[in-house]
Amino acid sequence: MTPWATTSNNFEDGSCGVSCNADYVQFLPMPVVPKNCNERLMKPDKRVITNDFTTRVYVSPPSVDYDCNEVFTMDIYDKFENISEKSKIISRIGMSRIELTDKSEMASSTVSGQMPMYRFGNYFYH
């Protein structure tokens, strides 16, 4: 794990890793996954993610035409809520965030389209 990994840029709370770089940025663009407006997946897009080296997950919606008013939803399950899902609305612009700091794992399921996800994390133990 790189010594530049960090959970924040707070110099006082010890979460800054070996060395803080206040002006350090890494950028990874989300992929664009096109789909037709209001078209549902025949088989749900399902994922399981643990919080190993992960504090949050960023979810990007599929790309639809500008005049499409579809609401993208994703069902979220965790260790304690594995029967009754929590439905989360995924932002049509930008991306949505799912926190994993208080969960050991999470699962997601959606028929709204393929939803690219990026993990953001650290190597510190909770």
Q: Which residues, 6 or more positions from 79, have their beta carbon under 8 angstroms from its beta carbon?
A: 103, 104, 105
Would you say residue 58 has pLDDT above 70? yes
Give SS3 for 16. Answer: coil
Per-residue pLDDT band for 18 (boundaries 50, 70, 90) equals: low
Would you say residue 46 has pLDDT above 90? yes
- Which domain, by its residues, includes 55? 45-120
Q: Which residues, 6 or more positions from 40, have their beta carbon under 8 angstroms from its beta carbon?
A: 111, 112
Q: Answer yes or no: is 105 within a domain.
A: yes
Q: Could you tell me the pTM of the whole model?
A: 0.68
What are 72-96's pLDDT values in tens digits? 999 988 877 666 668 899 998 877 8
How many structural domains are present in the chain? 1
